[in-house]
Structure 1
Amino acid sequence: MAVDVFGKAILDYHSGETTGEIHTFSSLEEQDSFPVSHLFRSYDSMPHLEKKALDLCRGRVLDIGCGAGSHSLYLQSRGFDVTSIDISPGAVQACKARGLSNVFESDFWQYKGETFDTLLLLMNGIGIAGQLSKLPHFFQKARQLLKPGGQLIFDSSDIIYMYEQDEDGGFWVPEDIPYYGELTYEIQYKSYKSAPFAWIFVDFNTLEDFAEKEGFGCNLVRKGDHFDYLAKLTVEV
C-alpha cells in the first residue's frame, strides 16, 4: 500500500506539530526540503505568482492537488464555488477539518461528472502529467472538465538551469532522456518515504506548442524570480 507522506505531514501540522519538514529527492541527484508550514500559508504570505493565479480565477473552480487547502480556502472565503481534489486521504481529512465545503479524495485522471470555468493547478501542478508524451492526454482530460471558454491556470518552471553549462552558454543534457524537464521524485517526512514517481517541469515555449496543438490559447501571464512562470490557457471555442 502506498504511503500517504503528504497526508501524514499535513495532519501532524494541523494537530499542532508545526516544526516538521518534507524532504524531496530527484533523479538529478538534487535534495531539498521545505517546512510543512509552507502548505498552510495565508494569501498574504504566498508568492506573487500564486496570488496572481488566485486573482485570475473565475466562475466554478476545481483546485487540483489541493494539498492542505490553502488556495481553496482563500477562494471559498471570497465567495467562489470551489471544488477541491487530492489523492491524499490525509490531506482531504485535514481540508475538511479546516472548513472546506467541497473536497474529495480523487485522482485528476479519474475525476468526472462536472465541468468548471477554472482549473487551478499550483505548485507546478502540471507535473502530474509526468512525461512530455503525456501532455496531450493531460490537455484532453482538462478539456473534458472545462466549460466552453474555460481556463486552465498553473505555474511551472524551466529547469534547464539545473544542468551543467558549458563555456558557450549551452547546457549539457543527457542524450538518454526524452526531455530535460522529466524527473523522478521521492518524498520523505519523518520515517515515511514515498515510492518513486514521475514528475515534469515544462518550459513555456514547449508548453505553448503542446497547448496550441490541443486547441488551447496559451498566455504567459507573468515570470517569476527564478525561471518560474504563471500561465493561463483558454479553451478555444
Structure 2
Amino acid sequence: MSSNTDPLGTAIIDYLNQTNDPIITVESNLTEPDEIPVRYLFRNKSEMPEKELFALSKAEGRILDVGAGAGAHARILQDENKLVVALDNSAKCCEAMKKQGIKHVVCEDFFTYSDNEKFDTIFLFMNGFGIAGTIDNLEPFLIKCKSLLKPNGKIIGESADIIYLFEEEDGSVNININGKYHGEILYQMSYRNELSGWFPWLYVSVDILTDIAEKAGLKQVDLYEGMDSDYVICLQNQG
C-alpha cells in the first residue's frame, strides 16, 4: 500500500460512481480494527440519531461545516435553506460534495483557513473536536475556531470520554496519570490500495473540554449527553 494518500476520499468517490459498495478499514493503537460502510457517510436526516438531529437543529446563520467529508450534514443544512460553507482538506471529498450540489465548498486545511466574513456557527460533528489531535493542541484549536466566529457565535461539536477503554474487571481504571491524556489516539484508514498513514485524534471529556474552552473565551450554553459517554456540546463566543 502507498502512504499519505486519501482512502476516505477515494471510497467516497467510488460510492458516488456506484463502482462498488465500499468499506473503509479503520485501525487504532487502542482498539481492534473496525470497518465503516461508506454508505453511512451519505445518511439522510431520517437515518440520523437524536443527538445528530439535536446538533443540526442548533446550527443557524452562516455555518462552517469543518471536516465536511461526504457532505451529509452540509447537504441537509443547505436543503433547509441555511447558508453553509463545507470545508475539507481532501480534494476528492470536495469533488464529491460539489457533485451532490453543495454550493459553497472550500478545499483547505482548517488551521490555515480564513474568511473575510465571520460565522454564526461552526459545526464539528463526527467527533470534530478530534481534529485538535492532542489535549495540548485543544486550546489553540478552540482559539482558531473563535477567530472565525462572530460575537456570540457558537461551536456545535461532538466528542466522548473514552476512559471506559481502560477499565479493569474490578472497576478500577488502568491509566498512567503521568503519561499522555487517555483520550489521545492514533488512527489509520485504508481502502483498496490506499493507506492514510497514522494520524492523531482526540477524545475529550465534557469537564476538561469546558475548562479549556473557558480559557479560550468560550462558554458552554447547551449539552446533549448520549448513552455511551458521548455528547454534543454548544460553546458560545464570549467576545
Matched, 1:131 2:125: no
1:90 aligned partner: 92
- Structure 1 position 147 matched with structure 2 position 141: no
For each residue in 1:70-127, what CA deviation from the matched residue of structure 2 results, as whole angstroms up to 9, or x when unmatched? 1001000111111011011110000000000000111110110231000001000110
1:162 aligns with 2:165: yes
Please list the CA deviations of residues 163-218 of structure 1 after superposition, one character each: whole Å capped at 9, or x if unmatched: 13252x22101456310000111011122111110100011111011011111111
Q: Aligned-pair distance for 1:220?
A: 4.7
CA contact (8 A) 2:64 2:84 kept: yes
SS in 1 for 2:155: strand
Structure 1, 132-141 or 220-229: larger mean CA deviation: 220-229
What are the Cα deviations for residues 106-157 of structure 1, in whole angstroms up to 9, with x where unaligned?
1110110231000001000110100000111011101110001000001111
**Aligned length in residues:** 236
Whichever residue aligns with residue 79 of structure 1, its letter is: N
Identity %, equivalent residues: 38
1:5: Cα distance to partner?
Answer: 1.1
- Which 5+ residue runs of structure 1 have no aligned equivalent? none
SS in 2 for 1:208: helix
> Is the Cα contact below 8 Å between 1:60 and 1:80 reproduced in 2?
yes
Report the equivalent of 2:50: 48
Secondary structure of the residue aligned to 1:132 is coil
Change in 2 beyond 3 A, CA 1:4/1:152: same
**49-58 or 215-224: bigger deviation:** 215-224
Pair 1:80-2:82 in alignment: yes
Q: 1:120 aligned to 2:102?
A: no
Runs of at least 4 residues off by over 4 Å: none
Which of 10, 29, 32 aligns to 1:30? It is 32
Paired AA for residue 4 in structure 2 = A
Checking the alignment, whether the CA contact within 8 Å between 1:166 and 1:172 is kept in structure 2 is no
> What TM-score do you get using the length of structure 1 for normalisation?
0.96
Q: Which amino acid aligns with 1:164?
A: E
Q: Where does residue 225 of structure 2 map in the other structure?
A: 223
1:193 maps to: 195
Match of 1:62 in 2: 64
Q: 1:96 to 1:236 in 2, by over 3 A?
A: same
Q: Which runs of 5+ in 2 are unaligned?
A: none
2:4–2:195 Cα contact (<8 Å) kept: no
8 Å Cα contact 1:49-1:155 kept in structure 2: no
Aligned residue among 211, 219, 224 for 1:209: 211
Q: TM-score normalized by structure 2?
A: 0.95
Q: Residue in 1 aligned with 2:180?
A: 178
CA deviation after TM superposition for structure 1 residue 19, in Å: 1.7
Question: C-alpha separation between the residues in 1 aligned to 2:177 and 2:29?
Answer: 15
